[in-house]
Structure 1
Amino acid sequence: MLTILGVLVLIALVWWLVHGRAAEQRGNRRPTATVGIATAASGSIPITIEALGTVTPLATVTVRPQVSGNIVDIAFKEGQTVSKGQVLLSIDPRPFQLALQQAQGSLARDEAQLRVAQLTLQRYQTLVSQDSIARQDFDTQAATVRQLTGVVATDQAAVGTAKLNLDYSQVKAPIAGRVGLRVVDLGNYVTPGDAAGVAVIAAVTPIDVEFTAPQDDLPRIQARLAKGDAPAVTVLDRTRTQVLGQGQFLTLDNVIDPTTGTVKAKARFANADARLFPSQFVNVRVLLDTLNNAIVVPSAALRSGPRGDFVYVVGADRKASLRMVKRGPASGDSVSIAQGLRAGEKVVISGGDQLTDGAEVRLPEDAAKGGVGAQQGERRGGRRSAQ
């Protein structure tokens, strides 16, 4: 009886080991994952610097009057674009006109006195040569001529100053640019010491954008600048959806910020359409180089693990193979693969979170065709179970 019982227990144990373990393994087997794929292609990928920048006008000038007086005319509008030398406003010119007439009168009087003194000196020259007058009289007359010459020179300077003040009564734009909001009104009394001035002009065509560049990119930037091949620079709005301008890299600062490892840089833009506004925050993209004939895949295909970067490559047998790769430069939603992948190979870009090396996968078109891949997997699984 014990022998029969032992045989039955042994048979039951063997059955469980064969059929129960297989059933357990089938229950633990992961279902076939549906993944999205993309084809690795050969193409060009730009090598760029991305940075935040601030729009900076070439010059910002607070226009202040050079003389004091009441404003009698304002010749500009707020927000107007003005040219260099254009009259912005006029100060009452009458005091300066009178001062000019007075200076011109003094000059005419002193010039007449000088002319008389010069003629007298010429006569004294003749008389002293004939020993008809004392030498002292001649010397005194020569000193009078020199004195009156100095007076005339002073009068000429006074006339020039009066003319300059009269010209200053018309306040002109020192640079070309866009005028800001008006800070004075008709009839206001203004002086050269007014801190706010009468207007603020910003030079906006062309205009600069200041940003920072990583110190690791300095050798490449400097090499291109030395050859006269300035990198192209694009500025975009804060949402990176609209291009605001295309320009050229201008210059680098002369020191690296040790706290950030970056250096200040500047690019210049024509800004003919005035889309760049002073003190505006923008996104800057500097095109350093273009990598040609690169293997390019979507950024979603590249994954990272303890051993480094890798992708899942899907073969014709619908199996995903883990492939270690070496990443290259990236641009937007694409990344180049420097090593480990060939053009034309298909890589997983979605649904690969639960994949393992060698796992079977389903493609979206399989599901559209009624789950061909799943049916094949079930048949293969059924055959294994039957075996």
Structure 2
Amino acid sequence: MRNRKTTLVLAGVLAVLAAAGLWHLLKPPSAKLAAPTAVPVRVISVAQRDVPRYVSGIGSVLSLHSVVIRPQVDGILTRLLVKEGQLVKAGDLLATIDDRSIRASLDQARAQLAENQAQLQVALVNLKRYKLLSVDDGVSKQTYDQQQALVNQLKASAQGNQAAIDAAQVQLSYTQIRSPVSGRVGIRTVDEGNFLRTSDTQGLFSVTQIDPIAVEFSLPQQMLPTLQGLLLAEHPATVDAYLGADTDSDTGERLGEGHLSLIDNQIDTNTGTIRAKAEFSNPGQKLWPGQLVTIKIRTAVEKAALVVPPSVVQRGLDKHFVYRVKDDKVEIVPVQMVYQDSGQNIIKGVQAGDLLVSDGQSRLKAGSHIEVLSEPPQQIQAANTEPQP
């Protein structure tokens, strides 16, 4: 009985082996391993050109001259000769204050001066007569000296009267309020007919210079040697101002081009930054006091630089690298990052004209087979920037 079971098991094993061999002989050729699938990628050539290098920061627009117009004499505001928002020039008449009491004081001082001058004239005639008589002892020496003292007293009184006239004229000039700077009139705080006092701190309105204008900004303290070199250069460093306060965005409107004008005399120890200022010509008045802007300073020009889009360069554990196309495969090439911004990177380690992978790197490794897609660059960019659902 035991031998019979063993025979049956052996017969079953032989049947299975025979079936497996028959299937192996008769299997179709398609059962062979398929060739590796090519990875679809997009590529771009390494460009070589001169590239300006920039440093970016956030700045605040401020006026070079901003003046709050305040009264310098007490009195009633009789006339306002400018409107809010009006452009004025230095010396333009802005407002007038009632000047009648000051004019009366001025006339009184002039009358006193005329009286003293008449008295002085009589005293001078008498002094001359006394001098002639004193030669023959016609008058005493004491009388002559007293007359000389009277003349000196009247001269001093005349000088005092002239000083009072000058002071009254200064006070009278304050009743005509003129613009000390060229600029734009702000919102007024008082109307005609109000009584103004010199102790009022609010003022009538402000006049703010708009053109030219300045932008104050802060940069890391490591930029100090660069800023010093730019400030001492033969030609002032170019500074561009853009709308908005996002240093990683190039989509803001360009508001103006200026030049670096000064660096602050100390570093902020709390933030580790250095303040600087740039001056802008602002004929279109696109820059406005208090506005936040992005500034870009041209620090240097990289000659014959190798330029690629930011999407080309990949970052490894301790270095940057790119995928370079060789025939229908890719190879990993380490590169050195020389300069980067939101629009382009300058690298070393490749050559001008090399084809590098710009999209599809996530599925690549050294030696991967690739299929180069042929979409135009503008379509590729549009596809990448399309909003996700």
Report the TM-score when normalising by structure 2. Answer: 0.85
Name the counterpart of 1:215. 221
Q: Deviations over 1:254-302 (max 9, x none)?
A: 1122343321010000111111100100000000111121110101001
Identity level (%): 33
- Tell me if 1:309 matches 2:315: no
Aligned length: 356
Name the counterpart of 1:327. 337
Q: Is the 8 A contact 2:60 2:217 kept in 1?
A: yes
AA of the residue aligned to 2:318:
R
148-157 or 328-337, which deviates more: 328-337
Q: Deviations over 1:291-330 (max 9, x none)?
A: 1211101010011011300011112x22121111001112
| Pairs within 5 Å for 1:1-12 | none
Cα 1:258–1:303, aligned 2, differ >3 Å: closer, same or farther? Answer: farther
Cα 1:260–1:30, aligned 2, differ >3 Å: closer, same or farther? Answer: farther
SS in 1 for 2:361: coil
Report the TM-score when normalising by structure 1. Answer: 0.85
Q: Is the 8 A contact 2:42 2:374 kept in 1?
A: no
AA of the residue aligned to 1:300:
S
SS in 2 for 1:113: helix
Structure 2: distance between partners of 1:273 and 1:178: 13
Correspondence for 1:263 among 230, 250, 274 = 274
Structure 1: distance between partners of 2:354 and 2:330: 12
| Pairs within 5 Å for 1:80-229 | 80-229=86-235
Name the counterpart of 1:57. 63
Hey, which bits of structure 1, 4+ residues long, moved more than 4 A? Answer: 1-9
Q: Is the 8 A contact 1:33 1:360 kept in 2?
A: yes
Name the counterpart of 2:43. 37
Name the counterpart of 1:352. 361
Q: 1:216: how far off?
A: 2.6
Name the counterpart of 2:242. 236
SS in 2 for 1:116: helix
AA of the residue aligned to 2:335:
V
Q: Deviations over 1:64-98 (max 9, x none)?
A: 11111111111111011111111100111222221
SS in 2 for 1:183: coil
AA of the residue aligned to 2:328:
R
Q: 1:3: how far off?
A: 8.7
Structure 2: distance between partners of 1:162 and 1:351: 84
Name the counterpart of 1:385. none
CA RMSD of aligned residues (A): 2.6
Structure 2: distance between partners of 1:52 and 1:227: 23
- Tell me if 1:294 matches 2:313: no
Q: Is the 8 A contact 1:45 1:330 kept in 2?
A: no
Q: Is the 8 A contact 1:45 1:331 kept in 2?
A: no
Q: 1:224: how far off?
A: 3.1
- Tell me if 1:247 matches 2:258: yes
Cα 1:362–1:168, aligned 2, differ >3 Å: closer, same or farther? Answer: same
AA of the residue aligned to 1:269:
F
Q: 1:153: how far off?
A: 0.6
Structure 1: distance between partners of 2:81 and 2:126: 54
Structure 2: distance between partners of 1:26 and 1:231: 64
Q: 1:12: how far off?
A: 7.4
